[in-house]
A and B are shown apart, each in its own frame.
Chain A
Amino acid sequence: MMQGGLSVMELDKPLLREMYYRMRRIRRFEETAEELYKRGTVVGLLHLYIGEEAVATGVCLALRDDDYITSTHRGHGHLLAKGGDAKRLLAELCGRLDGYCHGKGGSMHAADLSLGILGANGVVGGGFGIATGAALSAKMRRSGQVAVCFFGDGAANQGIFMEVLNMAAIWKLPVIYVCENNGFGQYTRYEEATVTELPIGARAAAFGLPTAQVDGNDVIAVYQAAVQAVERARAGQGASFIEARTYRLRGHHMGDVGFARRYRTKEELEEHMQQEPVGRFRRWLLEHQVLSEAEIQEVEAQVEAELQAAIEFVNRSPIPDVSTITEHVYA
């Protein structure tokens, strides 16, 4: 069996293990956040990445530590896949002082500039300009860095997408536009809001960008496409576009359960559950004897320990003092 068009032999075991670790870590982080939200420990708006883990993981594994990413309102997966700290992210979701943004940003603005994570974004399409500008900056500084812009199918309908595609093309910028098509823009189905006669990539192709369409639940396929785009960007050949087809297994955000029945059926959701990327990759690793059940459980235990430590970290972390409100308005 092939996954992502590669045979097992062509991929090395540490990389495959790392893929599973990162995906599993995102999944369990999100489930933990979901649980803590229900208990009132996580506050504010919470958009879960469950079901889309393979996209962030496949792309970020193709990146260097100093490469840039911009993320979305559904951004925990991107930050974690790029190497972000689960403790500080969870603390941020809980509005604690030791969170990434000292409780000022929350889920939608988590960032780790030291890892090139230029921030999640509360505005749909908010990362287009920032990622493209980071790519311009990398090119001007001749740093060899690339920038990845994660965005959803909903954001593809924002006008600024066309503006940055044009500039990325004319200036040959080292930027990769990764469209996570999860089937829904908030509560509106992709096919109702977006032309489907042509893929979203046709918009990028119209500006001359090479485009790829991959199964976004196949982490190896995503990784392969990202590797190609990254090589191209680093070689000075300019921008690329990847559409990763995936499926949002949770609501638009926590607390919108009532909406669910209006935009999708239980049957549709159950069908997609069968294809969810983390379990699928676990089965694949076992079937192809890449990892044994014991080795997989070791990865899973590592993730559990990390999340347990994150919860303890949050419990120890203070709620910020109101005196901090006026800090960081200006640099």
Chain B
Amino acid sequence: MPEMREITIVEALREALAEEMSRDPTVFLMGEDIGRANGVFNVTAGLQDEFGKERVIDTPISEAGFTGIGIGAALTGMRPVVEILFCDFMTLAMDQIVNQAAKLHYMTGGQAKVPLVIRTLMGAGRGAAAQHSQSLHAWVAHIPGLKVVMPSTPYDAKGLLKSAIRDDNPVIFFEDKMSYQVKGLVPVGEYTIPLGVADMKRVGSDVTFVATSSMVQVALAAAEVLEQEGISAEVVDPRTLKPLDKATILESVKKTGRAVVVDEGHLSYGVTAEIAAIIADEAFDYLDAPVKRLGAMDVPVPMAPVLEQATVPNVEQLVATTRGLFGRRY
């Protein structure tokens, strides 16, 4: 066993960035307030002091422009890690992400490579209202050519970010703002986690929760409640939406016969629909109940905390939904 210590997701991400910058001089960071200000959520704290202003670049508030610049740098021998402060602002750079970064390799017949990572923030929970709280990962997961990562633990965050930086494709890396202080065990030494490999966060036998990002914590808490009632829940964290580890999800569902998919994106046309469809298509004969989905309500995220919290899936909802799969009353 490697030596382990407990750190937060913020610390894990910072370690990943620092290690990759140390091992590869082509890795550099760009974004709003990531340098002198240490990053709005402290992820890049101290990195400008360590690596200099040329490799930790404070940008103007110009998301389209600096994302495009990241693409140009990636095409020409660099490995930029661009930070878009909230994924809500990714909308300002959508032409760059969707029409340029995602398609250049394909459109040029494999000549161009875009080893670009876009780190961005998702999720409700801070009373930040409808333009600072969205979870727009399904938008980019829809686009061929992009990879989409959404870690839920410090261990995953570090190992996946290091792999994302080494990947030759554009990778959109979603960090949940309410999970930044989540703690977990992380090895002291070097490791990476391949993109496209799901992780079993809890082993169970009666129902599979497929949960992403902050919803992994919700799923684990719901599983504890259900355990008391004699329902054993397995929690599968895909960790990456593109590529998606269908095999691990299907294997779990085939074992348990029931599935609930939980994700913080809006319920309609989103990640839960995609994963539920895969399960229905490829594990139909194993299902003992319909596949259920929990996602954010189809409303803009409201500001007032009571309203805001009611829009996001929570432990009670997941417990109640799961009881329903076993014919039990709420």
Contact = CB atoms under 8 A, between A and B. Distances in A.
Contact of B104 (A100, A119, A128, A140): A119
Contact of A129 (B28, B54, B65, B109): B65
A119 B112 contact: yes
Given A128-B68, A163-B64, A134 B76 contact: yes
Contacts of A113: 75, 108, 111-112
A135 B78 CA distance: 11
B108 A330 contact: no
Interface stretch (B95-103, B148-156, B276-284): B95-103
B76 A104 contact: no
Contacts of A137: 72-73, 75-78
Contact of B105 (A112, A123, A135, A331): A331
Interface residues of A, number: 47
A126 B103 CA distance: 12
B313 interface: no
Interface string A138-178: 10110000010000000000011001101100110000000
B54 A109 contact: no
A128 B105 CA distance: 18
Contacts, number: 149
Nearest to B74: A133
Interface in A86-145: 99-105, 109, 111-114, 118-119, 121-123, 126, 128-138, 140-141
Contact of B107 (A105, A114, A134): A105
Contacts of A329: 105-106, 144-145
Contacts of B57: 171
B71 A119 contact: no
Given A102-B109, A113-B111, A133-B72, A122 B99 contact: yes
Nearest to A105: B107
Given A119-B112, A160-B68, A109 B107 contact: yes
A163 B60 contact: yes
A216 to B, nearest CB: 25
A103 B110 CA distance: 11
A73 B121 CA distance: 34
A111 B76 CA distance: 13
Given A113-B112, A167-B62, A132 B69 contact: yes
A11 to B, nearest CB: 32
A167 B104 contact: no
Contacts of B48: none
A230 to B, nearest CB: 17
Nearest to B55: A140
B59 interface: yes
A129 B111 contact: no
A101 B109 CA distance: 4
Contacts of B67: 129
A223 interface: no
A321 B76 CA distance: 30
A55 B59 CA distance: 32
Given A123-B99, A167-B60, A133 B70 contact: yes
A303 B77 CA distance: 34
A270 interface: no
Contacts of A123: 95, 99-100
Contacts of A170: 60
Contacts of B77: 137, 141
| Residue of B112, B113, B145 ringed by the most chain A CB atoms within 10 A | B112
A98 B70 CA distance: 30
Interface of A: 68, 70, 99-105, 109, 111-114, 118-119, 121-123, 126, 128-138, 140-141, 147, 159-160, 163-164, 166-167, 170-171, 327-331
Interface of B: 28, 54-55, 57, 59-60, 62, 64-78, 80, 95-96, 99-100, 104-115, 144-145, 147, 168-169
29 contacts: A101-B108, A102-B110, A104-B108, A112-B111, A113-B75, A118-B75, A119-B104, A119-B112, A129-B64, A129-B67, A129-B68, A129-B69, A129-B96, A131-B72, A133-B69, A133-B75, A136-B72, A136-B73, A136-B78, A140-B55, A140-B78, A163-B64, A167-B65, A167-B66, A328-B109, A328-B110, A331-B105, A331-B110, A331-B168
Pairs of residues from A and B, 10 with the lowest C-beta to C-beta distance, nearest first: A129-B68, A133-B72, A163-B65, A101-B109, A133-B69, A163-B62, A331-B168, A102-B109, A109-B107, A130-B72
Given A111-B111, A160-B68, 15 more contacts: A101-B107, A103-B109, A104-B106, A113-B75, A113-B108, A119-B107, A126-B95, A133-B70, A137-B77, A137-B78, A147-B72, A163-B60, A164-B69, A330-B169, A331-B113
